[in-house]
Structure 1
Amino acid sequence: MAHRAGTLRSRLLGEDRPTKQRMVEALESRLEETEAVEYQLTSSGSLTHEGTDGDTYEKGGGDGGLLLAVTDRKLVFVIDTRSGLETADVPYTDLKDITADSGILRTTLSVRVWGRGTYSFRPAQRDRAEQVAEFATNGSHAWQRVVAALQDARQHISTIETYVHEGRMDDARDAEKSAESNLRTAETRIGDARQTFQTPLEERSERVETELARTWMEARFERGQELLEETTVRPTTGQYDDAAATFLRTREHFERALSIAIEDGFALDSEIQSALSDLRDRLQTLQSQPLDLAERSLEAAQTADSPERAVVAWEDTLTHYREALAAGWGMAVDFDGETDALRMQLEWVVANVVRERCRLADRLETEADAHCDAGNARQARDHYQGAAAQVAMARRLATQYQAGDADTLAARLDDLREKIAD
């Protein structure tokens, strides 16, 4: 139980003089809400501080003397100096050692702190000094062992955001597992500590657990947002499978982030749900896009006003129907269009491409014959070559899709090559 306010005045000081009250207030300002004061020592003398550079300083001289509070988390010095009250905290994680040296007439308590030197004074409560030294030593041992494990956990947590941002999810999961292992080590060490120290150490461990969960949530949400922006670019270049795969990864990130937010009570859940809704809308647009483009291209092909434009438009239509048929194959994303219906439509489109290429070849061959009759050999050869190219492409499609008569087209191609050779 934490000792605060009036309890501190009566328990620590046993008197209610203004100076003592101010010292208690100064002490209270250094305590956390649930922090418990377990021991206290007072002295009418001063505090000696021997720094790491070997220089020695004296602190004190005021009527209130000196107060050392020993809590479940740290040591707190309150010193009444001629210029006012001063305080100094020594967390157990910073405590190197503490000793009580007792002589015949006096006892000296020495507190050695990593990086700060040694603080020493003569407590009025000589019989309690060794208890304080033993308690603080146990506290230092417990806190340093637990905090070491928690610091290791934080080291791994600090890498998770980078790994997730870079898409290195296996590395991120390994870092999470390492952090969880460190947290389990911390819990074991907390169980080995004195009961007095377990509550604050558990609070410290819980904060790191929360940090791990929050880091995962935020990292996955931010990565999902990054991937969501990518999905606005990929579909425009026909990379539907890449876009679909990105959507699936984005959804996985958002759903995992939302699960953590709900489970751990983070306030980000509504924002994540909004992002998921946006993702669903974009996914619906992606799923309909290949077939929509194919149908629009088909309308343009059917209204083309020249053989050249018709060939280009029907080839575009063929490309879009191929993409509509192949989009999402083997993936957990269903694109618009029933497979069998798309295959039938694709065969029909191929037949139209073959027809239009043959029509264009007819016109080019007719023009080539006219140039030949007029004695324009070069122009005739160019037009025969153009006609042959159209027939060759039509023959490849007819062979691949069984649309049109591939043998007839092959024979016609031979005829055109003979004309080119003449």
Structure 2
Amino acid sequence: METVTDIRSSGRPEIFDRVNTDGLFGRTRRLQQPLGQYFRETETPRYLAYNSQSGVVAAQGNNEGLTPAGDYRAYLLATNGRVMFVVGDDDGDRTISLPYEDIVAVRCTSGLRTSTLEIVTVDEDCWAFECKGDLTPVREFVDEATQVWTRTLTELDRAESQVEAAVTALEATDLETAATHITAAQEALDNGRGRVEALGATASIDERCQSTQAQIDTCQRRRHVNAAEQHRDTARRAWENRAYERAADAYAQAKTEYERALAVTAPEPPTETIADARNAIEAEYAELLSAPVDAAQVAASAARATTDPAARATHWEDALDRYRTAYELDWGRDRRFDGDRASLRQALADIAVELVDTHREAGRQKRREGSEESKRETPGAACGSATAHLERAREVATELVPDRREPPADELAAASEQGVSVESESKGR
């Protein structure tokens, strides 16, 4: 066996599975346990080096070096997650483990026949390993792995920090800021995971990555639910204000956000709760689509049930306004709301006729009341109201039913003259 071995090209060394090696004088025990017992299943060994006498030297710090006893050897093993020293001894193998995240510097010096690898840790310890082979490739690998791990852990720290910021933003209902932090957290996590994948060492950080991913997903799901609730509230307010199209758009956005929340795998908020909220939104949306016509029909029914002409005219005005709203919905695009245009147009025409006739009736009634007022020597408020009703009748007729425009002209003139007469008599007294 060469003193420095690139395991990727040479295959699995014998010492990984057996403690004895062949020599000039037969088989010699090099370790108490096979070297394969000392690295984890999730680790991939890359380089192996050994020496027979110098062992591992504590070049700096308060640690003691390790020297192999007798025919035992000292081994340096560089995996995708750490550098490990294993030194054979009759009392049991002794080990030193240096994870790459704890390494701050790595150097290699070469002499005539040997080279020495020095590793400095965050605790300012320095470990030196000398062997007869060239340790330069080992230094290059350890240096690269150290940088990868440093950047990976920096990205994971950043991801966790962004998650905390996202949680704070969600608690403040600042969804835009939360979205920014969630995106940054996912980006940092992906970067960190991607860097360490090049070393084939993702298994060593899987637990941390999975925990962070779960937190990101929970934040994302919460953000979608919060956005859905905001759109739902917007829809309800718009509905109250009879802004039906805006309400429909907001309900559609709410449903989309709930579905996005359900597409995110996370324990919170519970899937059942989100599904129930989405179903409730769908039910409200379906009710909204019939609301404009329903409200118009209710107003028309109220008008038909009212006997007083003036009050009935008020209800017909409301019905006309509501039917107009229903008729004008979704203009220029596929209709979402209940009621076809032809039926609504006919309803508008019918209500316009009812409104004109009712205003005329109310005008006549107020004119009669005006005559009674003049006899009782009271102001001519009824006459003014009669004029207003008749003017409104002519206005509606002119706009919507021109064939019913003419009859109230004489009545309007009579009501106006009566109002002037009553007013003059009142001033004369």
Per the alignment, residue 129 of structure 2 pairs with: 123
Mean CA deviation greater in 347-356 or 224-233: 224-233
Alignment of 1:305-384 (within 5 A): 305-331=307-333, 334-376=336-378, 378=379, 380=380, 382-384=381-383
Aligned pair count? 383
Q: Is 2:21 aligned against 1:15?
A: no
Cα displacement (A) at 1:270: 7.3
Cα displacement (A) at 1:146: 7.9
Q: Secondary structure at the match of 2:345?
A: helix
> Which of 238, 255, 260 is matched with 1:234 structurally?
238
Q: Is 2:302 aligned against 1:300?
A: yes
Q: 1:300 to 1:44 in 2, by over 3 A?
A: same
> Which of 85, 110, 116 is matched with 2:118 structurally?
110
- Whichever structure has more helix as a proportion of its residues is 1
Q: 1:310 to 1:249 in 2, by over 3 A?
A: same
Q: Is 2:70 aligned against 1:70?
A: no
Per the alignment, residue 136 of structure 1 pairs with: 142
Q: 1:358 to 1:375 in 2, by over 3 A?
A: same
Read off the aligned partner of 1:249 and give its amino acid letter: Q
Q: Is the 8 A contact 2:57 2:129 kept in 1?
A: no
Distance 2:59 2:398 in 1: 99
Mean CA deviation greater in 95-104 or 332-341: 95-104
Read off the aligned partner of 1:324 and give its amino acid letter: A
Q: 1:70 to 1:198 in 2, by over 3 A?
A: closer
Q: Is the 8 A contact 1:350 1:403 kept in 2?
A: no
Distance 2:199 2:133 in 1: 26
> What TM-score do you get using the length of structure 1 for normalisation?
0.66
Per the alignment, residue 252 of structure 2 pairs with: 248
Q: Secondary structure at the match of 2:129?
A: coil
Q: 1:44 to 1:86 in 2, by over 3 A?
A: closer
Mean CA deviation greater in 216-225 or 295-304: 216-225
Distance 1:58 1:248 in 2: 68
Q: Secondary structure at the match of 1:280?
A: helix
Distance 1:37 1:176 in 2: 35
Q: 1:110 to 1:62 in 2, by over 3 A?
A: closer
Distance 1:219 1:75 in 2: 43
Q: Is the 8 A contact 1:37 1:70 kept in 2?
A: yes
Q: Is the 8 A contact 1:314 1:352 kept in 2?
A: yes
Distance 2:55 2:298 in 1: 94
Q: Is the 8 A contact 1:240 1:328 kept in 2?
A: no
From the CA coordinates, give the structure whose radius of gyration is larger. 2
Q: 1:374 to 1:272 in 2, by over 3 A?
A: closer
Distance 1:230 1:329 in 2: 22
Per the alignment, residue 4 of structure 2 pairs with: none
Distance 1:272 1:300 in 2: 40
Q: Is the 8 A contact 2:394 2:408 kept in 1?
A: yes
Structure 1: unaligned runs, 5 residues or longer: 50-56
Q: Deviations over 1:303-325 (max 9, x none)?
A: 11323432232222223222222
Per the alignment, residue 286 of structure 2 pairs with: 284
Distance 2:382 2:215 in 1: 71
Q: Deviations over 1:354-407 (max 9, x none)?
A: 22222222222111111123332x2x2x22222222223333322222266334
Distance 2:77 2:325 in 1: 75
Q: Is 2:198 aligned against 1:197?
A: yes
Per the alignment, residue 385 of structure 1 pairs with: 384
Distance 1:414 1:7 in 2: 119
Per the alignment, residue 54 of structure 1 pairs with: none
Alignment of 1:200-215 (within 5 A): 200=201, 214=217
Q: Secondary structure at the match of 1:127?
A: coil
Distance 2:107 2:153 in 1: 23
Q: Is the 8 A contact 2:232 2:254 kept in 1?
A: yes
Q: 1:370 to 1:122 in 2, by over 3 A?
A: same
Alignment of 1:95-106 (within 5 A): 96-102=104-110
Cα displacement (A) at 1:64: 9.7
Distance 1:62 1:96 in 2: 22
Q: 1:354 to 1:48 in 2, by over 3 A?
A: farther
Q: Is 2:400 aligned against 1:401?
A: yes
Q: Is the 8 A contact 1:244 1:328 kept in 2?
A: no
Cα displacement (A) at 1:41: 6.7
RMSD: 5.7
Q: 1:85 to 1:150 in 2, by over 3 A?
A: closer
- Paired-residue identity, %: 18
Q: Deviations over 1:161-180 (max 9, x none)?
A: 979x87879x979x979x88
Q: 1:232 to 1:59 in 2, by over 3 A?
A: farther
Q: Is 2:106 aligned against 1:90?
A: no
Distance 1:86 1:140 in 2: 17
> What TM-score do you get using the length of structure 2 for normalisation?
0.65
Read off the aligned partner of 2:386 and give its amino acid letter: A
Q: Is the 8 A contact 1:48 1:120 kept in 2?
A: yes
Q: 1:417 to 1:67 in 2, by over 3 A?
A: farther
Structure 2: unaligned runs, 5 residues or longer: 1-6, 20-28, 88-93, 425-429
